[in-house]
Structure 1
Amino acid sequence: MDDRPLAGYRIGVTAARKVEEQVALLERRGARVERAPALSLNPNHVDDEALRAATECVVSRPVDLFLATTGIGMKTWFAACERWGVLDDLVASIGSAEILARGPKSVGALRSRGLREVWAPPSECFEDVLEHLRGRDLAGLRIVVQEHGQSLSMVAHALRRRGADVTTVTVYRVASAEDPEPVFRLVDLIADRALDAVTFTSAPAVAALMEAAGVTGRRDEVVSAFQSDAVAACVGPVTAAAFEPWGVPTIFPERSRLVAMVKQLGTELPSRREGVAIELVDGRQLLLHGDEVLLDGIAVKLSPAPAAVLSALVANPGSVVARRALLAMLPSGQAGSEHAVEMAVARLRAAVGTRTVQTVVKRGYRLHVQLRPEARHLDEIGYEA
């Protein structure tokens, strides 16, 4: 087994926290690392006065539904209330409500104070929390939403449109890196196709990089590079979801852990260089090597649009790729509407078989694959719509 699978690869790192650990993991596997912290070393700024006022508002009257989004946010809020002598009031207020928690870290923070969630999504995506509420009558319910470092004002507005009385609690705000120059340099490296991959350990880091790309006027080049050359490696689905508005395909491990992300890169990058072989659910073999597509050893000719769709689906085998993400990857001049995606998918099915590409209603499309045990890493590559 190759103990230096990343030898010869150049990888950008956007993390500020635990950066030494991540760099060591990558360099131990042979990678050349470019550091560019996108966020401050102390990114979570807490406005005590504003948080205390929000807390008083929360405990002032009964809460029907409480949405917890981050473990660090809940821990910080509980600690602040403990200093102010109102922790019991907050716990009692939350405890009287139906609690929905976004992921295991927020669940852990809640349970440490004796609070029990009613439901939490396995995906750790906040959108799935909202989906869980979609069929319910929210009229007249008081909902409290703990924000996760970035504003959830649009979420609050959407819930208010359904008749809910919504209070958002800003525990902290994420601050950008004090020195933006390394991020600007990283933007140039990505846009110039000088990197094989870039790692991301938080959604705010994705936002900070894309903001820097916009300021420098190279955002379109960065998006294009991620769509064709550089791998956007994320620690988990929440971080990966931050790329969805840009149509950037991502990879992330099944377990949201730093070591798992680095190990996945050690498998993904060499496989891209050597070509990607996938076993379809009907037993046929699909092989992509550069621009060449082989189905059971026979060359398949694809026009640019279906080829772009196939490339996105192969990068995320078995996982859903949203229509808007596929739309962003269509060749210039063909990305006018989602109808263009439907046409490209239809042409792809005509070339490789109707069962090869599955439609996932209201979400997008996925490649219908048969995963082998030794290729399990492919199942860990996901793009959630």
Structure 2
Amino acid sequence: MARSAARDATRPTGPGTEPGHGPDAPPVPPLAGFTVGITAARRAEELATMLERRGAAVQHGPALRIVALADDEGLERRTRELVAAPPDITVATTGIGYRGWIEAADGWGLGEVLLAALGRSEMLARGPKARGAIRASGLVDAWSPESESTAEVLEHLLERGVRGLRIAVQLHGEPLPDVVEALELAGAEVVTVPVYRWAPPLDLGPLDRLIDATLAGGIDVLSFTSAPAAAGILARADERGLRTDLLAALRGPVPALCVGPVTAAPLEALDVPTVQPQRSRLGAMVRTCESAVPARARRLPVAGHLLELRGHAVVVDGRLCPLPPTPMALLRVLARRPGRVVSRAELLAAQGGAGDEHAVENAVARLRAALGAPGLVQTVVRRGYRLALEPGGCADTTPGADR
């Protein structure tokens, strides 16, 4: 799925109504001009809508899919075991997984007896979604970690002591061998409940296009809402021989936006810096994006105007100017050395090397027209072109601005 940014707040409706002109002109949306990559399988449409409302363009390339195990004989057998011998402690790791388990049990005619068995145990929830699912099923949770991490759940259990206890652990798409081993070494009997698992997407095309766009500079921030998605995109990049390049992009010009520390863990283990909200919520993640991404935009005082370079657009004195790829590429080359002359040959290379100097002149003319302010791009006779950086003006060296 590829979606374009919503432009309603910035689209001219008549002469003199361009954004940024006139006392009633609406402000430029915070994410206008930026493209956000979405790797999520679940709630991707919801995330895209929230981003687009803030002006962003989005590109969706799901890095995984959820395979439900409701018809799995192993899950039914494990459920019957727990009904026959109820656990002392039950750990719910995800809301969707816990709900799926109860729904599957209903289908086998075991829903009520499973809830009765779990209700006799001490219910622990890894996070608020799991806690909400427990309460929605009519049961009561006893404890949930502030960090929403499985590691803190394990620490809590080991501190309280688990010797001789039977513990049911609802898995969240991946096995938890370290957790199981630690509990068993502490004397517990552990029953794992694999309600669903992660798998690669059936259609790898959107994910491949997202990886390619990230490497080509077409993605300004890559978002992750689950740790398996982070692992999934890296695995696919590895299959294509692009893992090193993707990691370099995520360590450099393309920030990794994660919903929380659990999601960020696989990336941070590879020395990829991440941007996270204080609370692990989708809305909080979008608000973090709304503040963090524009702060990375490069700002230059040019010919009496303030020029702000965004992913696929420029903001000139508060007026949004979407640019086609070729003029945007030329502007980025000029902005690498603002105030210095860039040769026509270098600009020609920036637009793919096709054509001649006349093609460069046409591209510069389109760039000037799109910017809508005279004198920003100056011609230096027989030498090339330059951005008219104001004398004494300081170029903003924001990370990622020179992509």
Q: TM-score, normalised by structure 2?
A: 0.62
Give the C-alpha shift of residue 240 in structure 1: 2.3
Match of 1:39 among 61, 64, 70: 64
Quick check: which has more Rg, 1 or 2?
Answer: 2
Q: Secondary structure at the match of 1:241?
A: helix
**CA pair 18-105 structure 1, distance change in 2 beyond 3 A:** closer
CA contact (8 A) 2:158 2:183 kept: no
Q: Deviations over 1:211-230 (max 9, x none)?
A: 11221222222222212221
**Which of 97, 100, 106 is equivalent to 1:76?**
100
Structure 1 consecutive aligned stretches of length 4 or more whose deviation exceeds 6 Å: none
Other-structure match for 1:9: 34
Tell me, in whole angstroms, the C-alpha distance in 1 between the residues paired with 2:187 and 2:215. Answer: 45
CA distance in 2, matches of 1:227, 1:131: 31
- Spell out, residue by residue over 1:195-240, the C-alpha distance to the aligned partner (whole angstroms, 9 max, x if none): 2211122222222111112212222222222122211112233322
AA partner of residue 237 (structure 1) = P
Letter paired with 2:61: A
Summarize the Cα distance change of 1:76–1:210 in structure 2 as closer, same or farther, 3 Å threshold.
same
Which consecutive unaligned segments of at least 5 residues does structure 2 have? Answer: 1-25, 300-403
1:169 offset after TM fit, Å?
A: 0.6
Number of corresponding residues = 274
Question: Against the structure 1 CA distance between its residues 22 and 63, is the aligned structure 2 distance closer, same or farther, given a 3 Å change threshold?
Answer: closer
- From 46, 52, 55, the equivalent of 1:27 is 52
Change (3 A) 1:45 1:84: closer
Q: CA deviation at 1:59?
A: 2.2
Q: Is the 8 A contact 2:69 2:194 kept in 1?
A: no
Q: 2:176 aligns with which of 123, 127, 152?
A: 152
Contact 2:36 2:221 in 1 (8 A): yes
Structure-to-structure mapping, 1:128-207, within 5 angstroms: 128-207=152-231
* 1:93-104 pair list within 5 angstroms: 93-104=117-128
Provide structure 1 residue ranges, at least 5 long, that are not aligned to the other structure: 276-385
**Post-superposition offset of 1:68:** 0.8
Q: Which amino acid aligns with 2:117?
A: S
Superposition deviation, residue 140 in structure 1: 2.1
CA gap of 1:206–1:72, structure 2 versus 1, over 3 A, is: same
Amino acid in structure 1 at the alignment position of 2:196: Y
The corresponding residue for 1:210 is 234
Q: Contact 2:158 / 2:186 at 8 angstroms: preserved in 1? A: no
How do residues 292-331 of structure 1 correspond to structure 2 at under 5 angstroms? none
Structure 2 CA distance, aligned partners of 1:47 and 1:243? 33
Point out the more displaced range, 93-102 or 164-173. Answer: 93-102
Structure-2 separation of matches of 1:17 and 1:86: 27
Alpha-carbon shift at residue 105 of structure 1 (Å): 1.4
Question: Per the alignment, do residues 21 and 169 of structure 1 end up closer, same or farther by CA in structure 2, a change over 3 Å counting?
Answer: closer
Which residue identity is paired with 2:150?
A: F
Confirm or deny that 1:114 pairs with 2:138: yes
1:311-333 C-alpha deviation (Å, 9 max, x unpaired)? xxxxxxxxxxxxxxxxxxxxxxx
Q: Is the 8 A contact 1:44 1:149 kept in 2?
A: no
**Kept after mapping to 2: 8 A contact 1:63/1:93:** yes
How many Å apart are 1:274 and its aligned residue?
5.5
Code of the residue aligned with 2:93 in structure 1: it is: T
Report SS of the residue matched to 1:134.
helix
Question: How much is the aligned-residue C-alpha RMSD, in angstroms?
Answer: 2.3
Would the aligned equivalents of 1:43 and 1:176 in 2 still touch at CA under 8 Å? no
Matched position secondary structure for 2:116: helix
Match status 1:272 vs 2:296: yes
- Who is 1:320 aligned against? none
2:264 corresponds to: 240
Distance 1:94 1:178, change over 3 A: same
Measure the CA separation in 2 of the matches of 1:269 and 1:124. 25
In the other structure, the counterpart of 1:60 is 84
- For residues 274 and 223 of structure 1, the distance between their equivalents in structure 2, rounded to whole angstroms, comes to 23
SS at match of 1:253: coil
Q: 1:39 to 1:96 in 2, by over 3 A?
A: same
Deviations 1:45-104 (A, max 9, x none): 434322110101222224222111011111111112222222232222222222211011
Do the aligned partners of 1:45 and 1:174 also contact (CA within 8 Å) in 2? Answer: no
Q: Which amino acid aligns with 1:167?
A: V
- What is the letter of the counterpart of residue 40 of structure 2? A
SS of 2:117's equivalent in the other structure is helix
Shift of 1:6: 1.9
Indicate if the aligned counterparts of 2:173 and 2:196 stay in contact, CA closer than 8 A: yes
Contact 1:47 1:171 in 2 (8 A): no
Encode CA deviations 1:266-292: one digit per residue, 9 max, x unaligned: 2101223359xxxxxxxxxxxxxxxxx
Q: Structure 1 length as normaliser, TM-score? A: 0.65
Deviation of the 1:194 alpha carbon: 4.0
Q: 1:58 to 1:242 in 2, by over 3 A?
A: farther
Q: Tell me if 1:261 matches 2:281.
A: no
Query: 2:70–2:104: 8 Å Cα contact kept in structure 1?
Result: no
Q: CA deviation at 1:5?
A: 1.7
